[in-house]
Amino acid sequence: MVMPPALLTIRSISKRFGDRTVLEGINLDVRQGETVTIIGASGSGKTTLLRCINWLERPDHGDVRIANEIIGRTLDGRAASEGELARQRRHFGFVFQRFNLFPHLTALENVALGPRRVLGVSRAVAEARAIKELARVRLEEHLHKRPSQLSGGQQQRVAIARALAMDPSIILFDEPTSALDPELVQEVLDAMRGLAAEGMTMVVVTHEMRFARGVADRVVFMADGSIVEEGPPGIIFENPQDPRLQRFLRHLEPAST
């Protein structure tokens, strides 16, 4: 079987905050259509890695390449201007822990806003795209509700639809269920499971081990700012090699495994 090419290539990414090293020499490839989950204890560098991938945080060292373009650099190697960097970031959708929806806008308006303002499409085209993506996450009956009229799980699905409406090459998820009440987690995971089945390329920082085990093509374990171990879920969860991964898995709540 021929493996699809790497869509995202990360090489030697390092990041410091003051005298604290948060990431050290990260190397990672993500193939087209692959779902990669990143697991690890709090403070291991998972969120910082996501933010460095699309340059919400600028790496101190190393390169991030997507679709043969180096983020933060022009084709001739110069530092990208803010306008060029904004264009490069369109490769990425980003779903945060918090939903960050505009409270005065409806679900439809929240999702249509990006295509209109960033991509420059007409209102009609943006709204048609928003309706399509909201239906994709099973919110077609809630188009005209404001965030205050939606549950937390529904708000997070609006945020996912908002990312999809920008037609990204890859979506980055930063613990998208961590701010939700337990009974609302599954509806968000189901929406993400559907995207994985459709072949959406995704990198997911998560503490939901059932999702990592059942949906991911590959699981990456981080500790102390480095990738310690990675592989298929069956190997990572059933035959972990590194002692830090073994300890991490032992300390998980039984309900999460």
Structure tokens at 172: 């980055």
Lowest mean pLDDT among 40-49, 69-78, 129-138, 233-242: 69-78
Residues 6+ apart with CB under 8 A from 22: 15, 16, 45, 48, 225
Q: pLDDT tier at 15 (50, 70, 90 boundaries)?
A: very high
Q: Among residues 234, 205, 185, which one has the least CA distance to residue 52? A: 205
E strand residue ranges, 97-223? 170-174, 202-205, 218-223
What's the pLDDT at 257? 40
Structural domains in the chain (count): 1
What would the pLDDT profile of 154-207 be if each residue is shown by its tens digit?
999 999 999 999 999 999 999 999 989 989 999 999 999 999 999 999 999 999
35 pLDDT higher than 60: yes
Q: Is residue 160 part of a domain?
A: yes
Q: Is residue 151 part of a domain?
A: yes
Residues forming beta bridges with residue 11, ordered by sequence position: 63
| Per-residue pLDDT reduced to its tens digit, 36-67 | 999 999 999 999 999 999 999 999 999 999 98
Question: Is 132 domain-assigned?
Answer: yes
- pTM of the full structure: 0.94
Of residues 49, 33, 70, the one with CA closest to residue 170: 33
Q: Is residue 141 part of a domain?
A: yes
Q: Residue 129 belongs to what domain range? A: 102-167
For the record, the structure tokens of 52 come out as 């460095």
What does the H/E/C string look like for 133-184?
HHHHCCCHHHCCCCHHHCCHHHHHHHHHHHHHCCCCCEEEEECCCCCCCHHH
pLDDT tier, 254 (very low <50, low <70, confident <90, very high otherwise): low
Distance CA 55, CA 40 (A): 22
Cβ atoms within 10 Å of 106's Cβ, excluding its own? 20
CA dihedral 43, 47, 53, 57 (to 10 degrees): -80
| Segment 94-114, tens digit of pLDDT | 999 988 999 999 999 999 999
What pLDDT sits at residue 1? Answer: 63
Q: For the chain, percent helix, then strand, then coil, each to nearest 5?
A: 40, 25, 35
Per the prediction, the chain carries an average pLDDT of 94
In a domain, 188, yes or no: no
Return the structure tokens found at 190: 């189901």
Sheet holding 6-17, edge to edge: 20-31, 6-17, 61-66, 69-70
- 111 in a structural domain: yes
- Section 136-157 average pLDDT: 97
- Short-list 34, 15, 43, CA closest to 170: 34
Q: Residue 249 domain-assigned?
A: no
Q: Is the separation of the CB atoms in 53 and 172 below 8 Å?
A: yes
Tokens of 251: 């300390």
